[in-house]
Amino acid sequence: MTKFTVNDRPVQYRMDPHTPLLWALRDGSNLTGTKYGCGTGHCGACTVDIDGVAVRSCQINIAQTEGRFVTTIEALSPDRSHPVQQAWAARAVPQCGYCQSGMIMAASVLLRKNNNPSDTDIDQAVTNICRCGTYPRIREAIKLAGRIMRGEERIAATPPPGITPDDAAKTVPALRATHPGAD
């Protein structure tokens, strides 16, 4: 049994110790904000924060995570008040959105270490792939988040939270009732 901390909560997985962390988070803990992209560690959609380091969760197994602290997008700030999340919305970064949680996690790790990164710092720390090519907006958002963290700039309001998992669960039966066969 593998034990470590996920989003400030102790967990223990009764899975094969060689199970990739990505699948333990998604299937074992229902933390689906961490996305499966390529499975080879190239795209970065599965990036999480492990002990302050941006890590591709498809490339580390749960045995290697024993005793460590893992933070996923769900715990970065549930109300979306984290400067990176605010800047992402303010600069309209998401297009398809699939890579965004990994990008945000990589950017938050970078900014925790260096809240005034150069373009080179950003390029070296955030190597995630965006299939939609929103790189100029990503760079702008990271720099804006740094200015927010340094107290040089503010964003008027935190974006409103989206639908909660509980609300989504209530919506699905209602959709089924009004749209039979819509599964």
Residue ranges of domains in the chain: 2-75, 83-149
Q: Would you state the pLDDT for residue 78?
A: 80
Q: Would you state the pLDDT for residue 175?
A: 46
Strand 47-50 and strand 69-71: the pairing is antiparallel
Q: Would you state the pLDDT for residue 79?
A: 81
CATH class assigned to 83-149 = mainly alpha
Length of the chain: 183
Q: What is the DSSP string of 54-68?
A: EEEGGGSBGGGGTT-
Q: Would you state the pLDDT for residue 2?
A: 86
- In the chain, which stretches have pLDDT less than 50? 172, 175-176, 179, 182-183
Residue 5 contacts residue 21 (beta carbons within 8 Å):
no
Q: Would you state the pLDDT for residue 167?
A: 61
Choices 3.10.20.30, 1.10.3720.10, 3.40.50.410, 3.40.50.1820: CATH for 2-75: 3.10.20.30
Q: What are phi and psi of 54, to 5 degrees?
A: -75, 120
Taking the CB of residue 114, how many other CB atoms lie within 10 A of it?
A: 13
The model carries a pTM of 0.84
Q: Hey, do 2-75 and 83-149 end up sharing a CATH topology, with the first three levels equal?
A: no
Q: Would you state the pLDDT for residue 81?
A: 87
